[in-house]
Amino acid sequence: MSNRLHFTMGQLLDDIANRFPDNDALVYADQGLRYSYLEFNALCERVAKGLLALGVRKGDHVAIWATNVPQWVVLQFATAKIGAVLVTVNTNYKSVELEYVLKQSDATTLFLVSGFKDTDYVETLYSVVPELRDAGPGQLCSERLPFLKHVVFLGDRQFPGMRCWSEMESLGRDIEDAQLAAIASSLDEHEVINMQYTSGTTGFPKGVMLTHHNIVNNGFNIGECMRFTEKDRLCIPVPFFHCFGCVLAVLACVTHGSTMVPVETFSAEVVLRTIEAERCTAVHGVPTMFIAELDHPNFGRYDLTSLRSGIMAGSPCPIEVMKRVIRDMNLTEITIAYGQTESSPVITQTRTDDPIELRVATVGRALPDVEVKIVDIENGQTLPPGRQGELCTRGYLVMKGYYKMPEETARVIDGEGWLHTGDLAVMDENGYCKITGRIKNMIIRGGENIYPREIEEFLYSHPKVADVQVYGVPDIKYGEQVMAAIKLKEDTVATAEEIQDFCRGSIANYKVPRYVKFVDEFPMTASGKIQKFKLREMAIKELNLEAANSVETA
């Protein structure tokens, strides 16, 4: 029996605002900002009208490059109410990556904050689109980004060529409710509404096209696994630009009338303070976040007794960390979720009432209405319980495809609709899965997916680099770190620092190799294929990473 929801995201928010009008929807404790569901829905509608006045139409691609600011969540629903596709941009991106995503996505509009960490977003955008400085708002004509017309700064400061956020509400004042309602009623739940960029299984980042139906239902089932109700309050320190933030957090809450309590940028103490101040019943995080919270010197000062559940996901979860979280943070019903952006994203999740050994040593079983099978990587045959193979999934959660990349889409979704994850797993007779490795060479560092080829292609542009192989090595804090083995051109010398400095400012900091090794040759098979696993094995010995490599995870 299917319990699927058949809402667009706009209809979902309307429904919840009608059912729980006075419930807190969105709370930023440190900013004194608190919207009920009635107020939040009204704000989203005002901004949706502002988007229409700006010229944004159904099917247009609207990019957002921002930390977990309140406007992010508003835009997630405002764009959905008019059928515009929200393109999420990684906050760690630099100029090369920003230009790639804006160009590949055909984004017509960009919303951005002033910056994050060491990156000035405004100056970065001007470097990519110099024409913006001299353009009137909405008059941008860029040679490199021909689709981009509008840039809106998520604040009150005025920048050349940009509008500011306050205009988004005032712009739409002349648009009638009936016009917005007519657009909303014309939308279909199976239309694309969200585009997340992921390295997928090969090559450069791809735009994963997700529909209302994909993410509304995934969010609902995730919340069901945590036993969410309108009484729950979720602390959200994970970034909105990931599915972890905008689906596992935002949509898990909104589908249940629960309260969203975001943290703008991660800080262990701010998370602890927020949980206590808002009496949060749940908190999400990647393992590194939970470790930082547990190890914070002021950990013992905070009252976490309101906590009950949440999700640890994003990278393999060390079993000992899960045990500490359950014991020391009162998260007796915490769950582990596993999936990938292409599956909206959660495929399997543990349940709150699972025995502790299943909740710490597996990534759970399939969500409702989701099929999972393990197949032989050689012949594609379905394997019996206990045998290792590739994890495949099918159902409402599978993406529409990669934007403008039909061949890449066909590589991961087969003719019968099965999404091939590229992950190795073992499933027991009750359907509980343990992820055992990856067929692909993806590096997962602190919840960030990193595809080696992208870094290799960039390093090839260094004048001294003849050949390069990038791979992941184990790390106790982040799960994995990036390592580069480099063959230099003849008669050149270089240092690790030189290579790292070359990367900084051009590619995201998390992609900059933590370790650089100079080699004369690479280990190869008889047919000439480079064996990255041997490079990894050598690095574990040379860098004394045996302890990190032995950390047991689900």
For the residues of 413-437, what is the DSSP string, one character each?
A: B-TTS-EEEEEEEEE-TTS-EEEEE
Domain-terminating residue out of 301, 328, 355: 328
101, burial (CB in 10 Å: exposed 0-12, middle 13-18, buried 19+): buried
Residues 235/284, Cβ–Cβ less than 8 Å: yes
Q: Is the peptide bond before 345 cis (omega within 30 degrees of 0)?
A: yes
Question: Angle, to 10 degrees, between the axis of helix 9-19 and the axis of helix 70-82?
Answer: 110
The answer to whether residues 320 and 453 belong to one domain is no
pLDDT at position 529 is 66
Residue 170 DSSP SS3: helix
138 in the same domain as 264: yes
Same domain, 58 and 203: yes
How many CB atoms are closer than 10 A to CB 352?
Answer: 14
Q: The CATH number of the domain where 537 resides is what? A: 3.30.300.30
* 449 plus 313 within the same structural domain: no
Q: Is residue 231 part of a domain?
A: yes
Residue 250's pLDDT is 98
Contact criterion met (CB below 8 Å) for 187 and 234 = no
Q: Is residue 438 part of a domain?
A: no
**Domain end among 328, 345, 380:** 328
Whole-prediction pTM: 0.87
d(CA 237, CA 265) in angstroms, rounded, equals 7
pLDDT at position 1: 45
HEC string for 42-95: HHHHHHHHHHHHHCCCCCCEEEEECCCCHHHHHHHHHHHHHCCEEEECCCCCCH
Whole-Å CA distances, 360 to 284, 307, 320, 349: 16, 18, 8, 11
Residue 484 resides in a domain: yes
- Residue 125 counted as domain residue: yes
- What's the pLDDT score for residue 185? 96
* Beta-carbon count within 10 A of 295 CB: 10
Instruction: Show which of 328, 359, 387 is a domain's final residue.
Output: 328
Confirm whether 358 is domain-assigned.
no
φ, ψ dihedrals at 205, nearest 5°: -55, 145
Q: Give a yes or no: residue 157 inside a domain.
A: yes
Query: Nearest Cα to 221, choosing from 257, 190, 252?
Result: 252
Positions of the chain with pLDDT under 50: 1, 200-202
Establish how many alpha carbons lie within 13 A of residue 209's alpha carbon, considering only the half-sphere containing its beta carbon: 17
Say how far apart CA 409 and CA 537 lie, in whole Å.
Answer: 32
Q: Is residue 340 part of a domain?
A: no
First to last CA, the chain: 30
Does residue 360 belong to any structural domain of this protein? no
What is the per-residue pLDDT for 335? 97
* Residue 545: φ, ψ to 5°: -100, 20
- CATH number of the domain to which 158 belongs: 3.40.50.12780
The pLDDT, as a whole number, for residue 448 is 87
Residue span of the structural domain in which 500 resides: 445-549
Tokens matching residue 244: 């972890």
In a shared domain, residues 314 and 458: no
Per DSSP (E only), the strands in 201-276 are: 206-211, 233-236, 259-262
Query: Angle CA(344)–CA(88)–CA(364) in degrees, nearest 5?
Result: 25
Number of domains in the chain: 2
Q: Within this chain, do residues 169 and 313 fall inside the same structural domain, yes or no? A: yes
